[in-house]
Amino acid sequence: MRSTGDRIRHAISFEIVGLLIAIPLGTWVFNQPMHDMGVVAIAGTLLATGWNYLYNLLFDLGMLKWFGSVAKTFAIRVVHAVMFEIGLLLVMLPLVALYLGVSLWHALLIDGGFALFYMVYALVFNWVYDLVFPVPGLPTP
């Protein structure tokens, strides 16, 4: 399993790179002011950073319990990314609607867009992270 320091490096680098991509992309796609997309993205990042650490720890503990290893196949990585985003979406939806002053439906479209971006981004980022910082004793993905 990964160390606490490695999990912290993972969470922080994931969120910083994600913000650098998501804020300008969200501004362009949803035709919202960059400031508002920045606030939504940063609030999401703060929530996601804590969730990222906890979720990945619980996911790895679950994998150890049920499979005896934290080695992730492509299918497990897809399930991992989808489950993470669903949990975050449930928390973020009312916050986005309130801050932007939009309907829950509109907030769902915005938050869903961020979630779709982050699902793909998480899949790619985590795969690359495992290549750059492999777990000792596991085969390279």
Where exactly are the structural domains of the chain?
Answer: 4-132
Task: Take residue 113 and report the two structure tokens written for it.
Answer: 């867009």
CB-based contact 97:34 (threshold 8 Å): no
pLDDT of residue 140: 64
Tell me what pLDDT residue 9 has. Answer: 93
Furthest-apart CA atoms within the chain: distance in Å: 50
**pTM: predicted TM-score of the whole model, two decimal places:** 0.67
Residue 23 tokens, joined? 């804020």
The encoded tokens of residue 130 equal: 């495992």
CB atoms within 10 A of CB 73: 10
Instruction: Give the rounded percent of residues in the chain with a pLDDT score beyond 90.
Output: 47
